[in-house]
Amino acid sequence: MATWFDESRLDDEAVLSTHDAALRPLAEAGARVRHESIDASAAAAEAVARSQDLSRPRAVIAAGPDSRLLRAVLEPWCPVPFVAWPGPMLPGWAGSLDLVVVLAPDGADTGTASAVAEAVRRGCQVVVACPPGSLVADHAAGRWVTLLPTVTRDQLATAVVMLEYLDRVGLGPRADAEVVAEALDAVAIACSPHRDLAVNPAKMLAIALADSTPLVWGGSVLAARAARRVAESIRRASGRTALAGDAEHLLPVLEATRARDVFDDPFAEGVSDLRPMLLVLDDGTEDPVLRDQRSRLDAAAAACGVRVETVTTDAATEVARYASLLLSGTYAAEYLRLGLVED
């Protein structure tokens, strides 16, 4: 059965109303960040006060499967050794001199609960962001344990709660929850389903995605993580291929693309196949190495006539820029899902 993209559906109120369950959580992303930050503020203040009576930890260990986001934020900034440990145990050297931080948005992962229990047993300093009464919370009972209560089960909002704490104790970069929430609100306004296609960047990007195989690139560590998450969203929304990778991984794909011939019959066999499109998530990083990689990607795309789309952000902090890029790409993926119809 053939699938095609009907862009008129993106401005059809009747169609949009049927996708409210998918689009509303995107619009509420900023509110979830504010909610979690306010609810966890008292526990975070207690954890900060407690940390002042302790020496700086020998190392910070981010445990559990959600530790990769913390790694992307903290590795360039943390003044002590930092390691992300997504498995159900801890490194053999972890002990009472180390700080273990855990993100558990839904609190139900048995491996994360096991890692928390192991940290408590070894006498580590432990800070856990999870729902109270959850499986992980039940294992986070100990003298040196602080529970940051969360309720939305949102990974980004939970991470912001933890990053605010790490910022306040001097172990991470600035992570102001209000700045992140404002960045998310700005994307929600610009990409609102009630905003016309002609001035809606997410709807315009969805149209570009519909006719292509996206190659998603983000230069910085956080932008690269956002690229992977956006590619996942596109794959889930369309069932089509979407690749995210470093410049050296995407360049061979671009360079192998056959240059477009204006005389090609678009209905001939093989000609109608989806061509690559380079989607750049630009968080404003000015690193010379990343600028050089961007130039090489742009040059390879231009040589083969490959379309280039760029998502930008001017948010004030690294975490806010990551959140903005991720939400923009997720909106575009949902509009792609909405516009695809089957004959």
Q: Which of 149, 176, 203 is the last residue of a domain?
A: 176
Same domain, 203 and 237: yes
Same domain, 246 and 126: no
For the chain, the helix, strand and coil percentages under 3-state DSSP, each to the nearest 5: 50, 15, 35
Please state, in angstroms and rounded to a whole number, the distance separating the CA atoms of residues 332 and 343. Answer: 22
Please state, in angstroms and rounded to a whole number, the distance separating the CA atoms of residues 250 and 260. Answer: 19
185 part of a folded domain: no
Same domain, 198 and 338: yes
Q: Is 105 helix (H, G, I), strand (E, B) or coil?
A: coil
Spatial contact of 213 and 276, defined as CB atoms under 8 Å apart: yes
Plot region of 152 (φ>0 → left; ψ -120 to 50 → alpha; else → beta): alpha
24 part of a folded domain: no
Spatial contact of 136 and 114, defined as CB atoms under 8 Å apart: no
Q: Which of 176, 205, 235 is the last residue of a domain?
A: 176
CA nearest neighbour of 136 among 102, 166, 94, 161 = 102
Token pair listed for 60: 């910070």
pLDDT tens, residue by residue, 103-122: 999 999 999 999 999 999 99
> Which residue reads 């209000």 in tokens?
178
Going by the DSSP 8-state scheme, the letter that residue 198 receives in this structure is G
Element (DSSP H or E) covering residue 132: none
Domain that holds residue 102: 31-176
Same domain, 338 and 253: yes
- Within 13 A of 271's CA, how many CA atoms are on the CB side? 10
Same domain, 324 and 227: yes
User: Rounded to two decimals, what is the model's pTM?
Assistant: 0.93
Overall number of domains in the chain: 2
Spatial contact of 251 and 215, defined as CB atoms under 8 Å apart: no
Token pair listed for 95: 């002990």
Same domain, 114 and 204: no
- Residue count of the chain, please give it: 343
Spatial contact of 102 and 131, defined as CB atoms under 8 Å apart: no
187 part of a folded domain: no
pLDDT tens, residue by residue, 288-297: 999 999 999 9
pLDDT by residue for the chain (343 residues), tens only, comes to 568 899 999 999 999 999 999 999 999 999 999 999 999 999 999 889 888 877 899 999 999 888 889 999 998 889 999 999 988 889 999 999 999 999 999 999 999 999 999 999 999 999 999 999 999 999 998 888 999 999 999 999 999 999 999 999 999 998 899 999 999 999 999 999 999 999 999 999 999 999 999 999 998 999 999 999 999 999 999 999 999 999 999 999 999 998 876 566 555 544 447 899 999 999 998 899 999 999 999 999 999 999 999 999 999 999 999 999 999 999 999 999 999 998 6
CATH code of the domain in which 222 resides = 3.40.50.10490
Task: Kindly report the backbone phi and psi dihedral angles of residue 60, in degrees, each rounded to the nearest multiple of 5, phi listed first.
Answer: -115, 130
Q: Which of 147, 176, 205 is the last residue of a domain?
A: 176
CA nearest neighbour of 159 among 21, 62, 248 = 62
Same domain, 217 and 161: no
Same domain, 77 and 161: yes
Element (DSSP H or E) covering residue 331: helix 318-339
